[in-house]
Amino acid sequence: MPRSVALVTLGCARNEVDSEELAARLATAGWRLTDDADTADAVMVNTCGFVEAAKRDSIDTLLNAADDGRPVVAVGCLAERYGETLAKELPEIAVLGFDDYAAISERLDDVVAGRPLVPHTPRDRRTMLPITPTQRPAEVGDLGIPGHAGGPRTVLRRRLTADPVAPLKLASGCDRRCAFCAIPSFRGAFVSRPPDDIVNEAHWLADHGARELFLVSENSTSYGKDLGNLRLLEELLPRLAAVPGIARVRVSYLQPAELRPSLVDALCRGGGVAAYFDLSFQHASESVLRRMRRFGSTERFLDLLETIRAAAPAAGVRSNVIVGFPGETEADVDELERFLTGARLDAIGVFGYSDEDGTEAADLPGKIDPAAVADRVGRITSLAEELTAQRAEERVGEVAEVLIESAADGIVEGRAAHQAPEVDGSVTLRSAEAVTVGDLVPCRVIESAGVDLVAEPA
């Protein structure tokens, strides 16, 4: 019997793509993939290292997997960011970095055989990867960038679910220097995938059951800049929407300061592209945004939303905000409330600030007491829940195209164009007995419950 490995994925959709690359590499080398960690010969955990809660979840998952003595391997962001420290504090766990992915089967062979590994040594990946067209080589496959494997003729990926929505990676890394964010240090500089590679993978995903492509990166508005064409995303979207079998294309992770008019137009004109804007506002107070090394204000952000809705009145908009950033005042929180009240967002994620190793914000003065941060999180969360519920109620009466994601035991659920997977609520369909998973069904919204909607086929 072939050796078996259970692959556990934590964190964001970008990690899901990376796990499917790892799965393809392992399966090609003869490993049998299993969902049953209790019977697997080894467990591989694709960790998240973004914020403190995600780090704790990753470590807990690793420890739980190692409880019965089975070989456990940590890969992903936590392993890349804290390699040697993680290996020292958890000696029962093997720790591999991004550069190990190309030889992941051989590394796993060593782990199962009990051969010692040299734990991954973290490096600042911003200094390793090309960031301009003149620096960038024609091929980036040798740079150890997860999710970029393959090429215009090959796809190195194995789907781990049968979901009709599939994440598709546009790029990796980020060139922005937000004061609170450590991602560029362990994900590296921004590197776009060539458009032909992405289109080829879109065809492969469609052939393997995907109906919606969920385009992911650390900053999708930067796509193409390292290839010498900052409007490459606008050119790519209609190509992806034209792939046979693909019903909808959705873009995630947009930077408000980089959202150019041509991209707004491309996202609002339809043709299989969802009018969906995942905008990383983070705050609305100008003084807080400046300390965050970001740009914008309440008025600028509201003007941007007005432009979007003038082009597509039913456009979906979601965002995340951080409260409790060093130096944030009560007046700053009031300003954030003013913005959120006027923004009519469909979904809002609220996070309390905490120091991240190696970031500028970790050394800023004006730290706010954790209890005060928690109070502000509660205050903004309550407001966000009220506002997003109101926005959902405004959608009652709209006709929306709903992609069916599950249909079992008489319950049919899916997502409209303004709802991304897992984070933005869902639509429950009534009187929809004839539909199947993967169908794109025109529906009329008849009720709302929080951010969730109830609809019936139109």
Q: Summarize pLDDT for 181-202 with one digit per residue, the tens.
A: 999 988 988 889 999 999 999 9
Q: State yes or no: pLDDT of 232 exceeds 90.
A: yes
Q: State yes or no: pLDDT of 90 exceeds 60.
A: yes
**Residue 249 binned pLDDT confidence (cut-offs 50, 70, 90):** very high
Q: What is the pLDDT of residue 409?
A: 82
Lowest mean pLDDT among 39-43, 144-148, 240-244, 374-378: 144-148
Alpha-carbon distance of 369 to 381, in angstroms, equals: 18
**Residue 121 binned pLDDT confidence (cut-offs 50, 70, 90):** confident
Q: What is the pLDDT of residue 224?
A: 94
Q: What is the pLDDT of residue 128?
A: 66
Measured in whole angstroms, how far is the alpha carbon of residue 38 from the centre of its chain? 28
Lowest mean pLDDT among 56-60, 83-87, 125-129: 125-129
Percent of the chain with pLDDT over 70: 97
Alpha-carbon distance of 49 to 413, in angstroms, equals: 31
Measured from the Cβ of residue 327, the count of other Cβ atoms closer than 10 Å reads: 16
Alpha-carbon distance of 115 to 304, in angstroms, equals: 56
Of 132 and 448, the structure prediction assigns the larger pLDDT to 448
State the burial class of residue 431 (Cβ atoms within 10 Å of its Cβ: 0-12, 13-18, 19+): exposed
Percent of the chain with pLDDT over 90: 81
**Residue 149 binned pLDDT confidence (cut-offs 50, 70, 90):** confident
Q: What is the pLDDT of residue 134?
A: 57
The amino acid that residue 83 corresponds to is: G
- The answer to whether the predicted template modeling score (pTM) of the entire model surpasses 0.75 is yes
